[in-house]
Chain A
Amino acid sequence: MMLKSKISVHSGSPQPFDQILQQAGQIIFGKSTEIRLAVACLLANGHLLIEDLPGMGKTTLAHALARLLGMEFSRIQFTSDLLPADITGVSIFERDRSEFRFLPGPIFAQLVLADEINRATPKTQSALLEAMEEGQVTVEGITRPLPRPFFVIATQNPAHQIGTFPLPESQLDRFLMRIALGYPDRTAERELLASGGRRSRADELHRLISPEALPAIQQEVAAIHAAAPLIDYVQALLDATRHNPAFQHGLSPRAGLALLSAARAWAWLDGREMVIPDDVQAVLPAVACHRLKAARTAGNAQIEDITQLIHSIAIP
């Protein structure tokens, strides 16, 4: 439902991002909205959770983004025997120098892909999530900052699969967005089948932006104007989740902030200087689904619940 409108474009042209979205779209066919959400999540300085069955292109998406953004990439495959130290790093004794030397773990990268995060034990999960939240790691009493920018894309299998430890709600909240890629449609799948492996093509991508430029862009995004009527709209949505019998509990104030910053990023990607209700509606499912529990199924809220929520609130 994207429309080209003539309303004013901000000074910093998001042109490289148009290319980034376009080139990523050539790796993951037919998923432009999801790619856009993932990039918006990055621009809003949040972390992304992708929940899907294996083989849907989660890793490829993370890989492609890392390449296009020129970010230092590392991947952690979560398993049930993964220990916190395997993520953060350990100190080892160097005999020739007679001192301990810190070997940084895979978390010390700009873009970390935490694959199948719900296969690890809660202890290991929380080590990652703490690093995500704090932006630093404390090993053996020494606090070490993580590189900037720092962006985690975690993937998880649907909770009902065997051998998974579902993330508790408090930790799900650390992710700005959760998206699902889902099966490609027929044309997209045909294209994929015809084009051969997507992983190799992801490796061929070149960076379109330097990671050093990213913080400035993130600041620009955070400064996107949200007018009073728009804040009213966000508030009305938050309020509705808290009084809607479809949900067990409503969205937290932190979720509200997340919604607004995601909407800002969405607006920026659209080349606008201000947030409009469309931005909020576009990011709402990704921001709200994993934070809400449906009253009927006791699982997370479904996209239909969110659609219903949107339909119940008039645009102010």
Chain B
Amino acid sequence: MSTSARQALDRQATPWLFASALVTTAPHILHQAYWLNALAGLLMLRAFHLWRNDERLPGRWVLALLVLVGCSGIFMEFRTLLGRDAGVAMLVVFMAMKLLELKSKRDAVVVVVLGYFLLLTHYLYSQSIPTGAWLLFALWLVTATLIRLHGGPACTSSVTLRYAAILCLQAIPFMLVLYLLFPRISGPLWGLPSDAHAGMTGLSDTMSPGSISRLAQSADIAFRSHFTEAVPPKHKLYWRGPVMEDFDGMVWRPHDSRSGVATLENLSPPIHYEMTLEPNNQRWILALDAPVQLPENVSLDATLMATQRQPITERRRFQLAASLDYRFNRNEDPRTLRRNLALPQGINPQSRALAQRWRSIENRPESIIGQAQALFATEFTYTLHPPLLGENSIDEFLFQTRRGFCEHYAGAFVFLMRAAGIPARVVSGYQGGELNPLDDYLVVRQSDAHAWAEVWLEGQGWVRVDPTASVSPTRVETGIVDALPFGEPLPAIVQWRASWLRTLRYRWEALNNAWNQHILGYDPQRQRELLSRLGLPETDWRSLATLLGIICTLLVAAMAAWTLHRPPPIDPALRLWQKALGQLARRQVDCAAWETPMAVAQRVREQCPELAETFQNVVDAYLQVRYGKSNDNLKPLREAIARLR
């Protein structure tokens, strides 16, 4: 520890440290436990109170006790002290505690360094534009605090902040070089702690009444798609997720075995599109039905679901193609067909009876499907608020409650079909989406989550039937917002109908999308592309590091050269004086460079007597500010020059 580090802390520097601690910890409030927020807040308030009343800071034993309490609380909350959440919680609490220990300059520097480190931790939670903007602001403030610590009380706030802003701006070239050239790691950022991907929203791999209607209340974006050509009509946009074949009376599940193959016959030319999938911690790619062209590492299973081997834990881009009209598995494996006829024994007797009655009247599958669709079209209500269902859930739904969301209709429909002897299954995924007219990206949200049915017909293969379309045709034609009556708990952002609000939302989403596509989407692949465009193909991380080193050295050298050789800044008073001389020149009063302001005034007196007095005021103000003692008030000169016009 050097002598300067042991120096007592300047009392007036403390508010800067409080501000730094506050801005670097504040965003964590959003995702931390209430008691942690309260603890950190109380500690900071106490520290501020002690500072304001100039009271003694707590002793070593009190602090040690606080550390113990904080750590054990965190351990009880998270069952660990490691990992992302627990680690960040510790840092936040320690930051607050450090404010109770601000005795020397060294303590203050610890706060600043901890502040810089805390800035980094926010990126573990969010990499959005607001986060970036906030952290930029925080970086500025923390840097200003560091300058204030070393600059002493002579540094006024404005000088400190201006200096910090200049430093931050000077860092921009380095930031760009590091961003573009630092070797990119494919995979999660810095090998994130294992709990980093907890709590992501998205489609689940099972379906039960209520599972999709819960998801539909979230405005989070599931994925974005950009079509090379025109966007297909909404009722054709079925984004395929997991296919559920097993039913236990309450929950639909995908079948375990992934055996078998999918055979597709395309009836329409493929439509190409690019999908940017938000992380959902699942393995499926929600490809548009039916996927005909898949990227590497993505495979189709027998149910036409596209999956990759690893769960998607970071935003990914895929190039895909789909055929909207297709024949799928006309020669389905008999085992699969048997499986898709199976029903749990002894439940939903009424539904079974209804299906068998339909079958006895007319045996054609098409007419049975028509019967079911006609049934749904009559007295059923499409709602996010379905009543709870008991053991015979489908009977209760079909014959008593008659209120449900898409998972109820899809489940009941498939049950009826199977009971009538038609192989059928539930497909979950997303339907529709909203086209942002500003950047032509189709945005699909969690609120677009959907479930529909697939039936297997002789000669046609698996055919999609959307029973929800019978209940509420608008759901499929225009979207969920128009399909649900007002007052349903849809997220507010999706419901904005006012045109300016909608435009605002489109703008913001387009901006976010651009940020995702161009800033966050700069991955190893794009880096390679950029480098090969710069004439550096096949670069490994060693040559990248070398390049990085060379460019940073050159940047430092350039900045040093600029600092050493830049022309001295023109004095603002002199600039104003030159402006005044310019005004004289316009009146044909020309002055030589050697003429003193007084001589110029004399000249004005001779050539422009009507201006003499006004100009004498300019001269007096100028002489005062340029040659006077410690006078940097430019206002009188500005005013005098203004009167010259």
Contacts and interface: CB of A to CB of B under 8 A. Distances in A.
Given A227-B626, A229-B571, A229-B626, A276 B596 contact: yes
Contacts of B596: 276-278, 281, 315
Contacts of B617: 6
B623 A276 contact: yes
Given A315-B593, A315-B596, A1 B602 contact: yes
B69 to A, nearest CB: 59
A227 B629 contact: yes
Given A3-B601, A313-B594, 4 more contacts: A7-B624, A229-B574, A277-B597, A315-B595
| Contact residues of B: prevailing secondary structure | helix
Nearest to A279: B596
Interface string A273-289: 11111100100000000
9 contacts: A5-B598, A7-B620, A8-B628, A229-B626, A274-B627, A275-B627, A277-B597, A310-B594, A315-B597
B571 A315 contact: no
A142 interface: no
B371 to A, nearest CB: 98
Contact of A276 (B571, B574, B598): B598
A311 interface: yes
A313 B628 CA distance: 21
Contacts of A274: 623, 627-629
A312 B594 contact: yes
A227 B632 CA distance: 12
Contact of B629 (A3, A273, A281): A273
A296 interface: no
A5 B619 contact: yes
Contacts of B601: 3, 5
A8 B624 CA distance: 8
Contacts of A229: 571, 574, 626-627
B388 interface: no
Determine which residue in A273, A278, A312 has the highest number of CB atoms from chain B within 10 A of its CB, and name it: A278
A201 interface: no
A56 interface: no
Contacts of A278: 596-599
B616 interface: yes
Most buried by B among A3, A5, A7, A315: A315
B64 interface: no
Nearest to A230: B627
Interface in B397-413: none
Contacts of A243: none
B594 A7 contact: no
Interface in A1-44: 1, 3, 5-8
A144 interface: no
A101 interface: no
A1 B592 CA distance: 17
* Interface core residue of B596, B601, B616, B617 (most chain A CB under 10 Å): B596
Contacts of A216: none
A162 interface: no
A276 B621 CA distance: 13
A298 to B, nearest CB: 27
Given A229-B571, A310-B594, A1 B623 contact: no
Contacts of A3: 598, 601-602, 616
A276 B592 contact: no
A206 interface: no
A303 to B, nearest CB: 16
A103 interface: no
Interface string B503-518: 0000000000000000
B629 A315 contact: no
Contacts of A273: 628-629
Nearest to B571: A229
Contacts of B593: 314-315
B201 to A, nearest CB: 65
Contacts of A5: 598, 601, 616, 619-620, 623
Interface in B559-595: 571, 574, 592-595
B584 to A, nearest CB: 15
Contacts of A230: 627
Contacts of A225: 627-629
A6 B617 CA distance: 8
Given A314-B593, A315-B593, A227 B598 contact: no
Contacts of B574: 229, 316
Contacts of B616: 3, 5-6
B594 A276 contact: no
A309 to B, nearest CB: 10
Nearest to A3: B598
Query: Nearest 6 A-B pairs (CB), nearest first?
Result: A314-B593, A225-B629, A277-B596, A227-B627, A278-B596, A278-B598
A225 B628 CA distance: 7
B187 to A, nearest CB: 59
A265 B574 CA distance: 25
A311 to B, nearest CB: 5
Residue of A225, A277, A311 with highest tally of chain B CB at under 10 A: A277
Interface string B433-455: 00000000000000000000000
Nearest to A272: B623
Nearest to B601: A3
A231 to B, nearest CB: 10
B594 A227 contact: no
Contacts of B619: 5
A310 B602 CA distance: 18
A7 B640 CA distance: 14
Nearest to A307: B594
A279 to B, nearest CB: 9
A311 B627 contact: no
A5 B619 CA distance: 9
Nearest to B626: A229
Given A225-B629, A227-B629, A230-B627, A276 B597 contact: yes
Contacts of A313: 594
A281 B597 CA distance: 12
A8 B619 CA distance: 13
Contact of B594 (A8, A275, A315): A315
A314 B600 CA distance: 13
A6 B157 CA distance: 35
Interface in B611-636: 616-617, 619-620, 623-624, 626-629
Contacts of A227: 626-629
Contacts of B592: 311
